[in-house]
Structure formats: C-alpha cells, structure tokens
Structure 1
C-alpha cells in the first residue's frame, strides 16, 4: 500500500482491500487456540446490579433526526448497482461483503418503517437483491465468499480481482446477513419462501460447530477452518445464528472469555484471549453492542457490557476534553481500515489495524457510533457527540465516516455500513429494535 493517500483515489481497490477484512482480525487458528482457552478462567457478569444506563424509549423523531435519516438514505440511492440490486460497500467501488449487504437490507427495512421508501420501490429492491442471492456462486459450494463484485456477483478477492475458487467465508458476515433475512421475513412474511430457497443452498452447519462460530480461509489451494469472533461481535453473530437453529451455545455468552480492565476509571469488558497467544486483534468498541440493541434489543448481559463501554468513552471526554466515540471504520488514508477501541491488544484507547499495528494518531470520532449511542442511551454527552458530527451531512453523498481527533479533519470516506447504521439508529429512536413489529 502507498504511504500517502490521494483523496481523488479513495474509490481504488487499495481502500477497499484495506477496509473489508473485518473477520480476518477476529479469527483464530484451531491450532492450540481453543485448548488454551479451555484452561483459562472467566469473570462473571454481575447480574445483581443494575446496568449503568437504560435504553431510551421509542419516541417521535425530531425534524433534525428525520433529516439525518434522509441523508443516510441518499448514500443507498447513489450507490445501488442496477445490474444486481446490491449496494457498494464504499462509494463508487463495485465490491462488497455479506456484512455490508446485511447492513443494506437492515437499513432498507428501517427506511421503509420510517416512511423514506415507498412500498413499490421497497419491493423492487428486495426482489432484485433476493434474485441476486439466488444466483450467487458459493465458496466450495457451501457458503458465500467473503467478497463479491457488485456488478456481476463474481467471487473476488479484497482488491476486487477475480477469484473463481473464492477466498473463504466469514461466519460474522454471514450471521449479519442471516439477521437481515430474519428481520425482513418477520416484517414481511411474503418474502419468506424466497429467503428460504436461497438458504436451502447454503451449508450453514459448516459455520457453527461444537458451539463455536467458524470461518474459512483459502490459501495454497486448500481451505482451513478458523474459530471466528471476538467479544461483542461473537455474541452478536451467535444470536443471529441461533435464530436459524445453529449450534452456538459456547459463543452466545461472553462469560467464558470475559475479563475486566479499568479504563479511564471505568471497569470495561475485555476479551481474555490475548492477541499474542491467539494471533488475532481483540478490540472492545461500540459497534457490536449498538447492532445488538438496534436489531434484537440488548439482553441482560449485553446491556451491562454496553453501558460500561459507553461510560468509559464519556469519562475519557470528562478527563481530557476530547469527544470520544470509537468503533471500527474505514479511513481515507493508509491503512484504510482501523479499530478505534476502548481497549485492544493490551492497551487502553488503542487504535489497531488488522495486522495489530497501532495507529493512535489516526483515532477518529466515529459518526455511526456518535449517532448510535445517542439513539441508544440519549444522554447529555451523546447529544454533544451528535452536535459535533451533524455538520458533516452531505445531502447528495450521505454521511462520511467521522472526524480525526488529532486535527479535526473530516474522515472523508463514505460507506454503506456507516449510513445503514444511522438508519437503524433512527429507527430505534422512533420504533425500538428492528426485531419488534409495531
């Protein structure tokens, strides 16, 4: 990758390749990893105490909130591919993952429920998407590949180069798509037959074995399985997999991997699977808790963990004066995708790339996390976060990813995930979790 980044080139394969490998840093080899975990102790969640925060009750959107939803929908309108009905993960670059198509479908349902999409347009979008899924080539004829060309549905690598045999599958990405399918079917049962026709060709059992989630990596002509998921993401994906009857009994609770670390005076949940032993990054950040809240509603465990993740970010602001809302995000310069965290790889407020390298100078105020935390907990601090990111709205392009902490510059990359999560957040404000039918 080049050492410098020209904004006019941000649609290049370099950016996309750096930005669509979420599962890679959250997977561990079968060789020794699970055996080591079995020898580790776990810290329990304190269910006797109340959570630090209570999710906000549904209410009518303000004019400003409705405008935020309109801006987010503009990204989807501008980046839908006529050939397939799929949406580009990064504006203008014709490639995607199942994680992002799941984001699209969830954002589409949210937009319909908010009255941004007419029924005819909604039906056309859903049917084009499902028709493409019916034609989708699968990795090893089992499960969807990690990356596809949004124009042709061809399996590709992260640089969008043809990869006829695929590069593997991601259990986390597939689980997000499974969530979207279940939410769609719950709201509109008329699509259930087509969804199940699609899934009848997927070998879902291959991604969940012995209670754990498994991804696949292809190298040197062979495919190997890896346990996939770290705390937060793992539980989110397991809840989705469980709705389709998969064996995820180990992964669905964080307790077996839970440890606590004091960050900015707050005890926050961290994954005890140390990155040095398991060769995978271990970020504690906002996104998986926000997704659980907006799509399913937080269970008692996730509510307690989410409250502490949020509280640490607020406390950092109280201590330093720096507005803090951290998540994984694309960035508009090398290395193009970073996990801004509360705690990662043994360090508080670490910012790590997929290879574990630290980039704390590139910490951003995440737009989706800012709007997301405000929708979830609706506090004075979350209102300050939204006030900071509101000026970034672009009615033509949607919402960019956020603001660099170091110099206040805009992280000027536009992505499907950011804009879809904004739609989900505003749906949560107006109607509660997407799983609820109101």
Structure 2
C-alpha cells in the first residue's frame, strides 16, 4: 500500500478546517425527518428501510441491535443539532430502551438478534456481538444525559454478558452454534466499548497486530491482520472517531483507506464512498470496502443463494456510493477530496420530504430513488453533529 501512503502527501488530502453551513443543517433536518416519519408509536423504534413505488410504501419492520444503536445515536445527535425539543427526544429514547426485550439463557442475558419495530417482539433469537457493541456505545453515550441516566442504568442492569465472553472475546450465538467474534472488523470497536460494561480484558486483532519497532512495521503487520479478516468498510472504522475518539490503530487504517480511495480516483476518475449498504434491488444488501485480499482493492460482496460473490466495485452493477460514508469521511477527515465526496452526496442523495437516500449507484451516480434506511440517516446525523462540534 505504498501508493496509498504516497497519495496522502497530495495537497488534496491536506487537512482543512471543517465547515458546517446552512446546507448541512438542511441535510440534518432531512435526515431527522426520516427518524420522525418512520417512528412506531408503541415502541419508539423506527422502520429500518422505507421505499415508495408509484405512491405505495414498502417498509422493513425488522430491526437489529446495530440499527437500534444508530437510532439512539441519531436521536442524540438531533438533540445536539437542536432539531426538536430535547424533552420530546428523550421521551422517545426512554420508550425505546424500555421496549427492548432480553433473552434469559442460563446465567447470560442479552438482547436478541432481530426484533419487530411495531411491538418489539423477537423475530430471531440469538446474539450478535458486533450489533451489541453498537447498542452499548449508544446506551453508554445516552447515559451522559441526566434525563436518560436512569433508563440506561435499568437497561444495562438487565444484561449479563460475562458468560458470553471467552478468552477476552465476545461470542456470537447463531442458530446451531457458538462463534467467536474475534476475526471481524468489529472486534476492535468492541474493545473500545465493552469496558463500559465492566469487560476490560478484551482482545482486538488490530491491537495484537499493531506491534513493531517502527510505524512502518506496525502498519504492515496491521494490514496483514486486516487482510486476514476481509473487506474493510467505513463502519465501524470511522464510527470510532465520532463516538469514542480514534485509537492509534484506527488512525493508521483511516490514513491508508483515505489514501487508497484517492489513488483509485486518480487512476480511474471514480469517486468512492464504500460501506455496507441496503439496496433497492436483489441481492438487497451489499458489503463493500477496502479489500487487501484480492487483486482488485475495492470490491463488493453479496450473497447469491448460498454463494458469496466478490466483484470489483468499479464494474459491478451493485457498486454503491454510500451516503453515510460520504458524510462520515468529511466529518472525520475534512479535505478537498472528502469535500468532493460530501458534495456528491448533497447533490444526488437528498429525497425531499423523505430522508437521505441509502446511496448512489456508481454507474452514473444515480440515486436509489425513494429508498432510504434508518442506519444511513442516523449516521448522517451523527456525522453532522460531530462536524458541527469540531467547528466550535
């Protein structure tokens, strides 16, 4: 990745003073309108994907704990951005927390993999360690607000995850087996979040690889670890900046990622903003990002039946410019190149009266029309609140 390192020296990647202007405030208002329109009165939760075709609505009413975390964090950002009365938002967050079910499994107690937003009934049993980390990040951040402290304490008090830890790693509970979450890009994020629940002895593949006498040695070792895990997306890499502040490992990977995106732009003219994204056509959900394990550095991965397909982002019909990724990159690393990313999203991803589109198809940067999702709009709000905070 010498190309990425050298590219970082270009003037277009030189840090610039962050800007938060009226257009960004309008984006925040639009993103918040998604959270309001998608709200379920009984639970405070929100529809995770909304699409309109010929005046008819098609909505996804199943929600993961990752999306619950994004909803809570988006609502907290809305308080910071003064998009609605704080008391009203706090009431909704308390309702969300009170509605979340807990599975009792021997000595362990944990939120399920998937629930219904309308009544919080369990749609899929099991436990997802990465999604739980996202929810934990949201709840512990919410606990810093006096009006939410009791609700957060009550929810955390229901969880008992010590029995799910093995050798410093939080296990996933799947239908038929237990699976370690260590070999994932979320494991490092977990090590930043779980100490808030008393789990301080946690393991991270990033941290354990980031060793050596020089920065170059540490970086190469870290990149080998990333290669072993697989495609590196924008999330949760940049979410660590917004929610927790960057670790040394996160900062190095962000440098390489940004340099590699700019190198791809220089070579192809294609502006990337990769992350995990729901899309408005089969296969409905794609993973994309920085892929050290394949000859092509930028790939999209998706399921086709039982097969997992990898395709170059540049030529795949499912290559997506992720709206949330564009806002995160500018919020975390403002420079001329990330401003181009933000400008692309602002120009093409707005759906008036509906929310921010999940993304743009890289072939022509055409919008996923009338297709928006909770995670995108929650993270856009997070990014904009972070950006506004940096300009103060």
Whether TM-score is above 0.5 comes out as: yes
Over 6 Å off, 4+ runs: 52-57
Distance 1:258 1:395, change over 3 A: farther
Distance 1:203 1:344, change over 3 A: farther
CA contact (8 A) 1:71 1:396 kept: yes
Q: C-alpha distance in 1, partners of 2:15/2:197?
A: 27
Distance 1:121 1:291, change over 3 A: same
The equivalent position to 1:394 in structure 2, one of 340, 351, 375, is 351
Larger proportion of helix: 2
Distance 1:431 1:268, change over 3 A: farther
Instruction: Say what the alpha-carbon RMSD is for the aligned residues.
Output: 2.9
Q: Report how many aligned residue pairs link the two structures.
A: 358
Match of 1:349 in 2: 298
Distance 1:54 1:84, change over 3 A: farther
The equivalent position to 1:64 in structure 2, one of 14, 23, 32, is 23
Distance 1:89 1:248, change over 3 A: farther
Distance 1:64 1:146, change over 3 A: same
Note the alpha carbon deviations across 1:40-90, whole angstroms, 9 max, x for none. Answer: xxxxxx9xxx9x978776x66201111111111011011111111111221
Answer yes or no: is 1:123 the counterpart of 2:90: yes
Match of 1:11 in 2: none
Q: Report SS of the residue matched to 1:120.
A: helix
Distance 1:115 1:308, change over 3 A: same
Answer yes or no: is 1:370 the counterpart of 2:335: no
The equivalent position to 2:174 in structure 1, one of 196, 213, 217, is 217
Answer yes or no: is 1:182 the counterpart of 2:140: yes
Q: Counterparts in 2 of 1:33-432, with a 5 A limit?
A: 61-91=20-50, 92-133=59-100, 136-138=101-103, 140=105, 142-157=109-124, 166=125, 168-186=126-144, 188-219=145-176, 224-230=177-183, 232-251=185-204, 253-256=206-209, 270=223, 272=225, 282-343=230-291, 345-347=293-295, 348-353=297-302, 356-360=308-312, 361=316, 362-391=318-347, 392-412=349-369, 413-432=371-390
Distance 1:151 1:257, change over 3 A: farther
Q: Report SS of the residue matched to 2:171.
A: strand
Comparing 325-334 and 229-238, the one that deviates more = 229-238
Q: C-alpha distance in 1, partners of 2:211/2:333?
A: 23
Q: C-alpha distance in 2, partners of 1:285/1:258?
A: 23
Note the alpha carbon deviations across 1:83-139, whole angstroms, 9 max, x for none. Answer: 111112212221101100100111111110111121221122122112213xx1426
CA contact (8 A) 2:90 2:147 kept: no
CA contact (8 A) 2:62 2:115 kept: yes
Q: C-alpha distance in 2, partners of 1:227/1:398?
A: 36
Structure 1 residue 189: deviation in Å? 2.9
* Structure 1 gap ranges (5+): 1-45, 158-165, 260-265, 276-280
Q: C-alpha distance in 2, partners of 1:377/1:273?
A: 21
Distance 1:302 1:226, change over 3 A: same
Q: C-alpha distance in 2, partners of 1:90/1:225?
A: 29
TM-score, normalised relative to structure 1: 0.75
Q: Report SS of the residue matched to 1:414.
A: strand
Q: C-alpha distance in 2, partners of 1:114/1:71?
A: 12
Match of 1:263 in 2: none
TM-score, normalised relative to structure 2: 0.83
